[in-house]
Amino acid sequence: MSETAEHSPHHIDVKEFHPRAKAAIHNPKIRRNFRKAMDGLMTKRKSAFEGWDLETLRDLGANIRLRALANLPDLLEQLEQKLTENGVKVHWALDGDEACRIVRDICKARDAKTVIKGKSMVSEEMELNHYLEEQGIEALESDLGEYIVQLADETPSHIIMPAIHKNTDEISKLLHEKTGTDLSHDVEYLTASARLQLREKFMNADVGVSGVNFAVAETGTLCLVENEGNGRMTTTVPPCHIAVTGIEKVVPNLEDVTALLALLTRSATGQHITTYFNMISGPRKPDELDGPEEVHLVLVDNGRSSIYQDDELLDTLRCIRCGACMNHCPVYTRVGGHTYGTTYPGPIGKILMPHLIGLDEGRHLPSASSLCGACGEVCPVKIPIPDLLVRLRQESVDGDKLHPAKVRGHGAKRSAVEAMIWKGWSWMHAHPGAYRFGTNMAARFRKLQPGQIGGWTQYRTAPKLAPKTLHERMKERGQ
Amino acid sequence: MVDPIKVYPAKPSKVYFFGTCLVDMFYPDAGMAGIQLLEREGIEVIFPQDQTCCGQPAYTSGYHDEARAVAMAQLDLFPEDWPIVVPSGSCGGMMRKHYPDLFKDTGHEVKAAEVAGRVWELTDFLLNVCHIKLDDLGEPTTVAMHTSCSARREMGVAEVGPKLLGQLSNVNLVEQVRTEECCGFGGTFAIRHPEISGAMVSEKVDTLVDTGAKAFVTTDCGCLMNIDGYAEKNRKPITGQHILSFLWERTNGTKGDQS
């Protein structure tokens, strides 16, 4: 196994996208679960933005993120300074492995045996649970979806709703098998039983690990959005709280959070606001009754600073992880999150993961899109996802001599045969005489057209050549 | 993705017609219908014989050098200041939106932007520049419409087709569920990811059939080839047509120039 492959969850070979996609397409349960869930999420988002000037709000969101990224190095310094003043210890990690080691060292220093986790996609990126277990530290997910996924020994299939691939029946059976709850389709009963089991873990955990939605530089505030209260518990009950996040999550001012939060919750789950919104500004002060004794922030790079070097790719880092792009993606809806084999699935995964795992490993990701543009249309911070997909397609075949590819692993998808086909195609279409001759001949000998055209005719009849081209017909009219 | 503000030109006396390669080889009737609709509006249509393809297939496949060479061959075909009309949201989107990017850092950046700025999707042009008024001569019928993703999201013309069909007094336009969802064509996507594309088009056809319409119209030949080809192969009770062919037939009373 290559070194890069180890970064993918459960050591799934990301390159095996096609067989997984095929299996998912032919799995009616996957199709049904995702279709139903995504239809619901799309409807909720739409109604949540009713009465809002969504375009103006998206412009605002995009501008806030762009301004933050434009000043990223300064903002990170300011963030570190403010957090330090607030009593938060800041750590920097070049990659997931280093971030894991930092978490381990904090745990070891406290002689911690159990870690309770709130939802964090960066910790998935780091494969933190797996790592901690190897170090003899128990790591338990406390977000209900993550908890289910962990019990099933799976990875999240959606960045906001990790267990969206499972229906109530499957969850009921899983909880019954693993935790002894009664088989039931009563969602409230299932939730309550999970809650009961987790409550005890919260009380006894040595360390709480959470993610961060926005890190505010001017005040040194870590903002955390959640619905179940597990984030609040994770960050306040255990004596030590470790927040992990990507370096791009910083925003300049507290004021910036207002617009981003309004966009995030509506885009993600169609909520006007989540049940909990945590603003963490440091450990417990001497006169305070609760809160952790220690708070740490681990800022993870893991390929982000290389994205930052390119003016176009930089837009990838605007993402606020709402998941709207996958909710609206016709490909994601058909194949589900696990097909991608990456921490982040769907459109954002297709433009982000190649930087994290390399374009050699992620060579099939950019092509798995019809470029329909639904993702770009709903993105709350206006990331031009389709344009970035095209850019990565170019990078994956080294297709532009004027703008040489630079993403790690570029050129991995280039094949001599395909390159030759495009060269021939290009020559013919750049020579109008040859084109007219070729298309006329094709029209004339259309009966010889092959009836089978690869994957196309597996599902459709072959396109029918017309007896005369438009060129010929216009020529006959004197043009 | 859509330009925030679209400034339509005044109705010109002449336009350039960029037919697109799919119309040229597979659906020339749709091209002729578009040309005749323009001519009926009193516009002289110039069809440069040296046109081939906008370059999009290579562009979206990542072969930008090859796409640029093809696009380059189109840039000099429109020397006068007339609008360039395209019977496709997809090829129109390529020229209008992506030509400026494709020619960035070349000596042709200014020219590409100038050409791009004159490109119009044909139904949009008929409705909002020609202010066309359609007089329906056909029998009562029910149709559904599929607007291509590029017509909808790159060219911003999602409302144009339904408005034009709405002018036809004997046409009942019905809307399929998830009307905004992609049909699964996506150019080379349909070849590279046949199962996913197949799943998308099968659901699209189901939703179209569920409307009860026996026919659908669309802005783009890629979608047409995909949806119609799936319906035909799987014997689904619906057939498709380019919206321009449909508009011409309904308002001219004949199948158009069959020369």
- Residue contact B196–A461, C-beta within 8 A: no
Which of B84, B106, B128 is where one domain is finished?
A: B128
CB-based contact B250:B138 (threshold 8 Å): yes
3-state helix/strand/coil string of A130-151? HHHHHCCCEEEECCHHHHHHHH
Q: Are residues B165 and B117 in the same domain?
A: no
pLDDT band, residue B4 (cuts 50/70/90) = low
Question: Chain B, 84-123: which have a CB under 8 Å from a chain A CB?
Answer: 101, 104-106
Does B3 map to a domain?
no
Mean pLDDT over each residue of chain A, to the nearest integer: 95
Q: Are residues B121 and B212 in the same domain?
A: no
Does B166 map to a domain?
yes
- Residue contact A432–B186, C-beta within 8 A: no
Q: What is the least distance, in Å, from the CA of A48 to any CA of chain B?
A: 18
Residue B259 has pLDDT above 60, yes or no: no
CA B48 vs. chain centroid, Å, equals 18
Per-residue pLDDT tens for A282-317?
Answer: 999 999 988 999 999 999 999 999 999 999 999 999
Residue A244 has pLDDT above 60, yes or no: yes
Closest CA to A126 of A1, A8, A14: A8
Q: In this predicted structure, what is the pLDDT of residue B2?
A: 52
Closest CA to A238 of A115, A121, A147, A111: A115
Does B247 map to a domain?
yes
CATH number assigned to the domain comprising residue B239 = 3.40.50.11810
Does B7 map to a domain?
no
Which of B102, B128, B154 is where one domain is finished?
A: B128
**CA separation for the pair A155, A131 (Å, rounded):** 15
Per-residue pLDDT tens for A249-286?
Answer: 999 999 999 999 999 999 999 999 999 999 999 999 99
Does B189 map to a domain?
yes
Using the Cα atoms of residue B199, residue B204, residue B207 and residue B208 in order, give the sign of their dihedral. negative
- Residue contact A473–B229, C-beta within 8 A: no
Residue B47 has pLDDT above 80, yes or no: yes
Q: Is the pTM of this model over 0.90?
A: yes
Q: Are residues B42 and B80 in the same domain?
A: yes
How confident is the model over A329-356, as a mean pLDDT? 97
CB-closest option in A367, A370, A473 to B28: A473
Per-residue pLDDT tens for B61-104?
Answer: 999 999 999 999 999 999 999 999 999 999 999 999 999 999 99
Residue B258 has pLDDT above 50, yes or no: no
**CA separation for the pair A206, B63 (Å, rounded):** 54
- Residue contact A426–B186, C-beta within 8 A: no
A364: number of Cβ within 10 Å: 20
pLDDT band, residue B3 (cuts 50/70/90) = low
Q: Are residues B120 and B149 in the same domain?
A: no
Q: A62: which chain B residues are within 8 Å (Cβ-Cβ)?
A: none
Number of compact structural domains in chain B: 2
Who wins on pLDDT, A7 or A253?
A: A253
CB-closest option in A403, A453, A459 to B198: A459
Which of B128, B158, B184 is where one domain is finished?
A: B128
CA atoms within 13 A on the CB side of A228: 23
Pairing between β-strand A221-226 and β-strand A214-216 as defined by DSSP bridges: antiparallel
Q: Are residues B77 and B178 in the same domain?
A: no
Does B2 map to a domain?
no
Q: Are residues B101 and B150 in the same domain?
A: no
Does B4 map to a domain?
no
pLDDT band, residue A1 (cuts 50/70/90) = very low
Question: Chain B, 187-226: which have a CB under 8 Å from a chain A CB?
Answer: 187-202, 225-226
Does B257 map to a domain?
no
Q: Are residues B124 and B148 in the same domain?
A: no
pLDDT band, residue B228 (cuts 50/70/90) = very high
Per-residue pLDDT tens for A455-472?
Answer: 899 999 999 999 999 999
Q: Are residues B105 and B194 in the same domain?
A: no
Q: In this predicted structure, what is the pLDDT of residue A356?
A: 96
All domains of chain A, ordered by start, with CATH?
1-48+323-414 (no CATH), 54-305 (3.40.50.10420), 416-476 (no CATH)
Per-residue pLDDT tens for A25-58?
Answer: 999 999 999 999 999 999 999 999 999 999 999 9
Does B245 touch chain A if contact means CB atoms closer than 8 Å? no
pLDDT band, residue A6 (cuts 50/70/90) = very low
pLDDT band, residue A453 (cuts 50/70/90) = confident
- Residue type for position A386: P
How confident is the model over A192-218, as a mean pLDDT? 94
Q: Are residues B93 and B193 in the same domain?
A: no
Q: Are residues B124 and B146 in the same domain?
A: no
CB-closest option in B26, B64, B201 to A466: B26
Q: Are residues B145 and B124 in the same domain?
A: no
**What residue numbers bound the domain in which B86 lies?**
14-128
CB-based contact A166:A36 (threshold 8 Å): no
How confident is the model over A394-410, as a mean pLDDT? 96
